Amino acid sequence: MVVQSRSQAVKCINFFNGLTDSELAQVGDICEEHSLNAGELCQVEGQSTNKINFIIKGRVGAVRTTTNLKYCNNEIVLDLLHDGDVFGWSTLIKGTPWSTLRVLDATEVLTADAGKLLNLCETNNHIGYTLMKNLSALIASRLRQNRISILNAIVGMRGEW
């Protein structure tokens, strides 16, 4: 991965909006760089993890396998994540991943240990408040997206609205 500095890469992640340069550097210090290959699963629903991932460059799809689709691929992409997005965030609320994610294009991520990130939130109240506020907005956004996806699926099955 070619990144000038982790703190510069962290600036491009929506999840960190509102942090100062000094705070971004602290977050960057606990992150590691990783490359993901197209086609690989990078998160499995219900499989415990302690990592949160931030997409620097690339695309990841939230996928669902269904057995009742005939004459086509039985894996459907429900949502797309790309540059600036985050996945694995449920580990910050002591949860297991709620979706399975497949890498759609070669993807570069920064990965942080959830325990270290939570510790940083506890030791720096501004970081903690900002990240939890951003996490709340992220969850609300994903709930809205899921609602729209469900409505689109219903329309697709029924052919009308």
Greater pLDDT, 76 or 132: 132
The arithmetic mean of pLDDT across residues 127-140, rounded, is: 95
H or E segment and range at residue 142: helix 125-158
In this prediction, residue 159 has a pLDDT band, given cuts at 50, 70 and 90, of low
- C-beta separation of 109 from 54 below 8 A: yes
Q: Does the pLDDT of residue 152 top 90, yes or no? A: no
Q: Which CATH superfamily is domain 6-158 in?
A: Jelly Rolls (2.60.120.10)
Mean pLDDT of the chain: 87
State pLDDT tens for residues 5-17. Answer: 787 899 999 999 9
State pLDDT tens for residues 36-74. Answer: 999 999 988 888 889 999 999 999 998 887 766 566 667
Please give the backbone phi and psi of residue 3, each rounded to the nearest 5 degrees, phi first. -130, 130
| Strands of 31-132, DSSP E | 31-36, 41-43, 51-57, 59-65, 75-82, 86-87, 100-103, 107-113
Given this model, what pLDDT does residue 122 score? 96
Percent of the chain predicted with pLDDT > 70: 90
Given this model, what pLDDT does residue 1 score? 47
Given this model, what pLDDT does residue 10 score? 92
Given this model, what pLDDT does residue 70 score? 61
Q: What are the structural domain ranges in the chain? A: 6-158
The arithmetic mean of pLDDT across residues 131-142, rounded, is: 93
In this prediction, residue 2 has a pLDDT band, given cuts at 50, 70 and 90, of very low
